[in-house]
């Protein structure tokens, strides 16, 4: 409802990906239709839970909250879903930075709606994580104390309005490429959350792309602003897919459990291949002199991001790490008295109802 009141110059960058989300949703329903694996009469009493879990995964069935699951599977999911939720919440800050200064009222409305969506996505994801037996308060505490991470991309500053466009196009674009396969994740609540998130995110990417499109075809100053933003956000966006496959610690087990469906490098390549044509439509340059089509691979060759920088930012030494977490801690601390008041009010009402009932009984 906020995303369709502007023209999209081509088919729209997220068009094909949305089809994949629809396909994932259809697959989820189909799997539900097939029912669970095992004997026809459903007698599985003598089946070992581990075998049953493995059979569900093999049959592309969803694992649901009360199913038995290996402890490592549960922990991996909690870590990944929580990190994803934290990223949505911290990710509100760099864009929220421009709500007050958005250059038109329409842009202000779209940006407000987008940042609000991110809060909503964080909440869907926290709810999905809670089905695994962890509370949201515990997850928030781990974010605030630095024991759980969020996506390192949000530790870069938004210096100009064009950065809002670049985040939408590149950062949300990379996020969608990452997230679309998660719509087929083996854990049901996470897969369902991702289907909802991906559908809503398609407008995010379009609005960012459209911001850059207007800037790139605007005044010379606007065009410079747009190119500068793409120059700064390109490599950090490539780094969002994580370390190269050889260095990725969690990948193999996650692939076996069907939490993860493609490797970091596969997804990064997919993203690069998408962006090249989109950049051409914008008339903006991707800041990689070695970017060129490789006929034999049927893919673009490109320069890898600086993984040493990625590791530094993950370790806490990016431009905005301290600022982002301080902001979140302050908001949380400033809100404590409000949360306490609401809890106290609810407790009083419950006590009143209890004493009313006691009076009636007496």
Closer of 45 and 362 to other proteins (Cβ)? 45
Task: Let me know: does 202 contact 176? Beta carbons within 8 Å.
Answer: yes
Nearest distance in Å: CB 29, other proteins? 7
Nearest distance in Å: CB 185, other proteins? 12
Closer of 106 and 292 to other proteins (Cβ)? 106
Closer of 140 and 166 to other proteins (Cβ)? 140
CA distances to 12, 32, 134, 155, 260 from 184, rounded to whole Å, are: 23, 13, 23, 29, 9
Nearest distance in Å: CB 343, other proteins? 3
Q: Which of 36, 62, 25, 70 is nearest to 187 (CA)?
A: 62
Closer of 154 and 257 to other proteins (Cβ)? 154
DSSP string computed for 333-351 = HHTHHHHHHHHHHHHHHHH
Q: Which of 18, 5, 21 is nearest to 207 (CA)?
A: 5
Nearest distance in Å: CB 282, other proteins? 15
- The beta strands (E) that lie in the chain are given as 292-294, 299-301
Which residues on neighbouring strands pair with residue 293, listed in sequence order? Answer: 300
Nearest distance in Å: CB 223, other proteins? 11
Closer of 322 and 348 to other proteins (Cβ)? 348
Nearest distance in Å: CB 46, other proteins? 9
- Residue 172 CA to residue 307 CA, distance in Å, equals 20
Nearest distance in Å: CB 114, other proteins? 10
With b for 16 or more beta-carbon neighbours within 10 A and e for fewer, the 75-112 pattern comes to: ebbbebbbbbbbbbbbbbbbbbebbeebeeeebeebbe
Closer of 223 and 311 to other proteins (Cβ)? 223
Q: Which of 188, 251, 160 is nearest to 36 (CA)?
A: 188
Closer of 114 and 268 to other proteins (Cβ)? 114
Q: How far is C-alpha 113 from the geometric centre of its chain's CA atoms? A: 16
């Amino acid at each position: 409802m906020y995303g369709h009141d502007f023209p999209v110059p081509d088919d729209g960058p997220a068009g094909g990906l949305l089809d994949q989300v629809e396909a994932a949703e259809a697959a989820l329903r189909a799997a539900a239709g097939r029912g669970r694996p095992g004997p026809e009469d459903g007698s599985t009493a003598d089946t070992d839970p581990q075998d049953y879990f493995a059979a569900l995964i093999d049959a592309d069935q969803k694992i649901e909250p009360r199913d038995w699951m290996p402890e490592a599977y549960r922990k991996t999911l909690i870590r990944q879903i929580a990190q994803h939720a934290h990223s949505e919440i911290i990710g509100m800050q760099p864009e929220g930075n421009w709500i007050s200064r958005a250059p038109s009222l329409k842009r202000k409305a779209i940006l407000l709606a987008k940042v609000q969506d991110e809060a909503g996505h964080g909440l869907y994801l926290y709810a999905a994580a809670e089905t695994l037996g962890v509370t949201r308060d515990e997850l928030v505490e781990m974010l605030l104390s630095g024991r759980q991470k969020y996506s390192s991309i949000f530790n870069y500053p938004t210096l100009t309005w064009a950065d809002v466009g670049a985040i939408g196009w590149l950062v949300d674009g990379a996020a969608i490429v990452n997230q679309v396969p998660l719509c087929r994740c083996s854990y049901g609540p996470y897969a369902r959350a991702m289907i909802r998130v991906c559908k809503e995110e398609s407008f995010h990417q379009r609005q960012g792309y459209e911001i850059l499109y207007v800037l790139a075809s605007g005044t010379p100053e606007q065009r410079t602003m747009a190119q500068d933003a793409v120059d700064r956000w390109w490599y950090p966006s490539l780094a969002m897919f994580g370390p190269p496959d050889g260095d990725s610690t969690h990948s193999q087990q996650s692939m076996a459990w069907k939490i993860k469906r493609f490797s970091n490098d596969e997804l990064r390549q997919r993203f690069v291949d998408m962006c090249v044509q989109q950049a051409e439509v914008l008339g903006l340059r991707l800041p990689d002199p070695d970017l060129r089509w490789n006929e034999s691979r049927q893919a673009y060759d490109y320069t890898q991001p600086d993984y040493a920088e990625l590791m530094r930012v993950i370790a806490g030494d990016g431009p905005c790490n301290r600022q982002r977490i301080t902001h979140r801690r302050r908001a949380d601390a400033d809100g404590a008295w409000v949360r306490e008041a609401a809890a106290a009010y609810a407790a009083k009402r419950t006590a009143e109802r209890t004493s009313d009932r006691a009076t009636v009984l007496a």
